[in-house]
A and B are shown apart, each in its own frame.
Chain A
Amino acid sequence: MSLQSSRTPFDAAANRAVSAELKGLTVGQKKAIWAWVFLALPIVFYVVIRFYPTVSAFAISFTDWNILGEKSFVGIENYSRLVQDRVFWKVLINTLLYGVIGLPVSLVLSFVIAYYLDQVRFMHGFIRALYFVPFLTTAAAMGWVWRWFYQPSPVGVFNLILVDFGFSQQPFLRSTTQALPAVLAPAVWAGLGFQVVIFLAGLRAIPSTYYEAAKIDGAGAWRILREITLPLLKPTTVFLVVISTIGFLRIFDQVFNITNQGDGGPLNATKPIVLYIFETAFDSSDMGYATAQTVILFLLLLVITLLQLWYLRKK
């Protein structure tokens, strides 16, 4: 006896009741029901793939777990270990530095490029494509090319140029102070194309009537930029600030590929929190400690994003 044939009169009655109920609904209500039916799929997907692991990460962060054995509950031990971990503070500061340096530099650069590119008609599409190419390049390939760029003379191109112009050679990746900006440079460069394209779209969306009116009133270029372009570009800027901040605070692939053996060195000078999480989890198999770090990163991103949204929308 199969399951299909086990239908009872009760089931049939229930079925009739359901269709009767559906019949009683307006078209709008039926549409809403169908919308929810279709939405259920991505919602279930997100719950299983995104939300469940996120919530369980919070739970794992209170355990000691080496992937192999059972998880044992240790309370807030992982968090108190974080507070005392010098490397953790170092990577936290590094992560913030990536954001604090990377964000303004990349936004100013990309805005300036977009602003002037917007006025260029000659080969506009081609130039825009050139700026976009680095964004399409694999981080691994880029990391390795830049790694060779930073080699000492006569191998590395940057040092070769410095020497040619009579400056002294720089250690770049072998210096604890220069390494972080040196790693950040290709990351900024790679993201530039995306930011330029978004800024260009924003600039194009500003109605030209405003500019015409301003010109008739005798406003100069600087005034137009300050009082028309920038304020009207705000939604675009908000979007880019939020997206880029998250991007810089989650930096990983650039550092992993450009530093020796992906160790975020020298002396942790370039190690961001995501790389430290990766090492703790998959080299040291210390899952509890690693998830505690991800919880901190999550809270950090949450707070920064909320603050930015609040601040940039306020005005």
Chain B
Amino acid sequence: MNKLSGILLGSAIALGLGVGAVAPASAQTEITYWQYTFGARVDAIDALIGQFEAANPDIKVNHVNFPYADYRVKVSAAIPAGEGPDVVQLFYGWLDAYREAELLSPLPASLTGDVGDTFFPMVSAMNVDGEFWGLPTAVRSLALFWNTDLFAEAGLSGPPETLDELVEMGKKLTKRDKDGNLLQVGFTVVPTGQDHHWWREVLVRQFGGEPYTDGGRKVNYNSEAGIAALQFYVDMVGEDGISEIGFLTDGQTAFKAGKAAMTIDGSFRLGSFNKQRGLNYSITELPSHDGERFNYSSYWVNGIASKAQGEQRVAAEKFLAFITTNDAMQLWLDTVGELPARPEIALVDANQNHEQFGPFVRGLAYANATHFVDEAAQRQIMVDMVDNVTIKGMSAADAIDIAAEEEQKLLDRFYGS
């Protein structure tokens, strides 16, 4: 009999049924944390778990991670089956789908009471009908990477401050052979990269527009401002001639090869650029226009799975609170290179003036997050919009109308109106 219960207990633990339910005698509560596999993120969470377990000896956190490609499917299969994580990491754009599928439960007010005041404003997207469903440890933003060698070679002393300067300097930084073929571009125009965020959340606003209204449910960039923003964007590969779409296949490759003087990308690209020998570059904030600065931010949040109940739930809340403290955020920045989600820690002098993180951190102060319902499909609409102008020779106004119509259809299908 004794042996049997031992086997039962063992298999219950192995199956992740929870120690609390089977063995109330045990003092330790086990919870499981899931995220996707990415070297630095894994190290950061392991370090945080070590600290957390030292402070809370009665809780054991199992850290599980697997490749990004399988991540969504596994989460959605495991939680309804009562398995899987108690605390789970998800991309902010997935929240609606996860909520609808009842994979998450709302966070208690004790954890989120002051989020509105202490986190960056874009985190408010996690607030649905007064309840918060997830909190980020870190956020991301965009900045302008510029090749210092190429700038010096062209006799330019510093990076552009405004969009007009971007184009003017871009012209000086573009090199062509005697037949007019591009040898080096001033700026990378890559709609499939981060540019679609730059256009949507930065350029449209800088030209006086508002990309979406009604909480992201209504497309609003089909306006004069949107047309002006698109015209500016496509002119870089047309009239201004400072770039070419598809040059050296993509922006990162061109910049890493030292064949592009400027590119827009996220802080997550630092690791890859820093490893490139012979590439000397610096980072600055996205150029302003008419004195206005904007940025695009995205982030991953930690949510509590609906399956976490009783002791697990209490432990999960404790752990979630721990990984969203200021100290945890600083550790995440130092390990992963993603920016703290609270201004009070992000904007400390050491971070704000950091040579590489600084421009990203400063960008957070004026960043917006798009309320995506299907990021891949919405990106494709932007890519097609640019292609309609650059390949088909359509006017910016017509291309925007098509894009707006397509995207509105997508939003309507999701929101069911």
A contact set with B: CB distance below 8 Å = 66-69, 147-148, 151-155, 163, 169, 171, 173-176, 260-261, 263, 265-268, 279, 283-285
Bound state CA distance, A265 and B252, in angstroms? 20
Q: Does B249 contact A (CB under 8 A)?
A: yes
> Judging by beta carbons under 8 Å apart, are B249 and A151 in contact?
yes
Residues of A within 8 A of B377 (CB): 279, 283-284
Residue among B245, B250, B391, B392 having the largest count of chain A Cβ atoms under 10 Å: B391
Inter-chain CA distance A279–B374, complex, in Å, is 11
A169, chain B: closest CB distance, angstroms? 8
Chain B residues positioned under 8 Å from A284 (CB to CB): 374, 376-377
Is the Cβ of A261 less than 8 Å from the Cβ of B192?
yes
Residue of A nearest to B98 (CB): A68
Contact call A260/B249, Cβ cutoff below 8 A: yes
- Stretch of B178-186, B317-325, B335-343 that contacts chain A: B178-186
10 interchain residue pairs of minimum CB distance: A68-B101, A283-B376, A69-B101, A68-B76, A261-B192, A266-B387, A153-B181, A267-B387, A284-B374, A260-B192
Does B122 belong to the interface (CB within 8 Å)?
no
Contact B179 A163 (CB under 8 A): yes
- Complex CA gap A191/B100 in Å reads 46
Q: Nearest chain B CB to A209's CB is how many angstroms away?
A: 56
Q: Mark B374-406, 1 if CB is under 8 A from A, else 0.
A: 101100100110011001100000000000000
The CA-CA distance from A266 to B394 in the complex, in Å, is 14
**Which of A69, A147, A155, A174 is in CB contact (< 8 Å) with B245?**
A174
Indicate whether A67 sits within 8 Å of B383 (C-beta atoms), given known contacts A152-B182, A261-B192. no
Question: Is B97 within 8 A of A175, CB to CB?
Answer: no
| In the complex, B248 has a CB within 8 A of chain A | yes
Known pairs A66-B101, A67-B76, A284-B374. 17 more at Cβ < 8 A? A68-B101, A68-B103, A69-B100, A147-B249, A148-B249, A152-B182, A152-B244, A171-B391, A173-B246, A174-B246, A261-B192, A263-B383, A265-B383, A265-B384, A267-B388, A279-B377, A285-B374
Whether A175 contacts B391 by the Cβ 8 Å rule is: yes
CA gap between A48 and B219 in the complex, in Å = 45
Shortest distance from the beta carbon of B197 to any chain A beta carbon, whole Å? 14
Query: Closest Cβ of chain B: how far from A238's Cβ, in Å?
Result: 39
Q: Most chain-A Cβ atoms within 10 A of its Cβ — which of B98, B376, B388? A: B376
Q: How far is the CB of A156 from chain B (nearest CB, A)?
A: 10
Query: In the assembled complex, how far is the CB of residue B290 from the closest CB belonging to chain A, in whole angstroms?
Result: 32
Are A260 and B376 also in contact (CB < 8 A) when A68-B97, A174-B391, A267-B392 are? no
Contact (A151, B192) CB under 8 Å given A174-B391, A266-B391, A284-B376: no
17 A-B pairs with C-beta separation under 8 A: A67-B72, A69-B102, A148-B249, A152-B182, A154-B177, A154-B181, A171-B391, A260-B246, A260-B249, A261-B192, A263-B380, A265-B383, A267-B391, A283-B377, A284-B377, A285-B72, A285-B97
Q: How far is the CB of A91 from chain B (nearest CB, A)?
A: 13
B73 touches A (CB below 8 Å): yes
CA distance A279 to B72 in the complex (A): 15
Cα A169 to Cα B181 with chains together (Å) = 10
Given contacts A68-B76, A267-B391, A283 and B181 within 8 Å (CB-CB): no
Chain B positions near chain A (C-beta within 8 angstroms): 72-73, 76, 97-98, 100-103, 177, 179, 181-183, 192, 244-250, 374, 376-377, 380, 383-384, 387-388, 391-392
Bound Cα distance A117, B109 (Å): 78
Nearest chain A CB to B264's CB is how many angstroms away? 16
With A68-B97, A284-B374 known as contacts, the answer to whether A176 contacts B181 (CB < 8 A) is no
Closest to A172 in B: B246
**What's the least CB distance linking A300 to chain B, in Å?**
24
Q: Which residues of A contact B101 (CB under 8 A)?
A: 66, 68-69
Instruction: Give the Cβ gap from A150 to chain B, nearest Cβ, in Å.
Output: 9
Which chain A residues lie closer than 8 Å to B97 at the CB level?
A: 66, 68, 285
* Cβ–Cβ < 8 Å partners of A263 in chain B: 192, 380, 383
CB distance from B227 to the nearest CB of A (A): 20
Query: Which residue of A68, A163, A176 has the most chain B CB atoms within 10 A of its CB atom?
Result: A68
Q: Tell me, in angstroms, the Cα distance from A267 to B103 when the chains sit together.
A: 36
A68–B376 CB distance below 8 A: no
Q: How far is the CB of A153 from chain B (nearest CB, A)?
A: 5
CA distance A154 to B259 in the complex (A): 13
Name which residue of chain B comes closest to A264, CB basis.
B380
For B100, the closest partner residue in chain A by CB is A69
B-side contacts of A151, CB under 8 Å: 246, 248-249
Closest to B69 in A: A282
Give Cα A68 to B380, complex, Å.
Answer: 23
Q: Which residues in B have their C-beta under 8 angstroms from that of A260?
A: 192, 246, 249-250
Give chain A residues whose Cβ lies under 8 Å from the Cβ of B98.
68
CA–CA, A284 and B372, complex, Å: 11
B391 CB contacts on chain A under 8 angstroms: 171, 174-176, 266-267
Residues of A within 8 A of B250 (CB): 260
With both beta carbons as reference points, the residue of chain B lying nearest to A144 in the complex is identified as: B249
CA distance A151 to B181 in the complex (A): 11
Residues from chain A with a CB closer than 8 A to the CB of B392 are: 176, 267
- Is the Cβ of B376 less than 8 Å from the Cβ of A279? yes
Instruction: Determine the distance from Cα of A265 to Cα of B179 in the docked complex, in whole angstroms.
Output: 28
Q: Once bound together, how far apart are the Cα atoms of A148 and B246, in whole Å?
A: 10
Determine the chain B residues whose CB is within 8 A of the CB of A265 once the complex forms: 383-384, 387
From known contacts A154-B183, A260-B250, A285-B72, infer whether A68 and B100 are also in contact, taking CB-CB under 8 Å.
Answer: yes
B389 shortest CB reach to chain A, Å: 11
Give chain A nearest CB distance to B156 CB in angstroms: 25
Neighbouring B residues of A267 by C-beta, 8 Å: 384, 387-388, 391-392
Closest residue of chain A to B388 (Cβ to Cβ) is: A267
Q: Which residue of B lies closest to A155 (CB)?
A: B248
Q: Closest residue of chain A to B385, judged by CB? A: A267
Residues of A within 8 A of B245 (CB): 174
Chain B hits for A153, CB < 8 A: 179, 181
A52 to B250, CA, bound (A): 42
B377 CB, min distance to chain A CBs, angstroms: 5
- Separation of A153 and B247 alpha carbons in the complex (Å): 10
Min CB–CB distance A269 → chain B (angstroms): 9
Neighbouring A residues of B72 by C-beta, 8 Å: 67-68, 285
Cβ of B32 to closest chain A Cβ, rounded Å: 19
Residues of B within 8 A of A155 (CB): 248
Q: Which residue of B lies closest to A177 (CB)?
A: B391
Least Cβ distance of A155 to chain B in Å? 7
Whole-angstrom CA separation of A212 from B357 in the bound complex: 81
CB distance from B414 to the nearest CB of A (A): 10
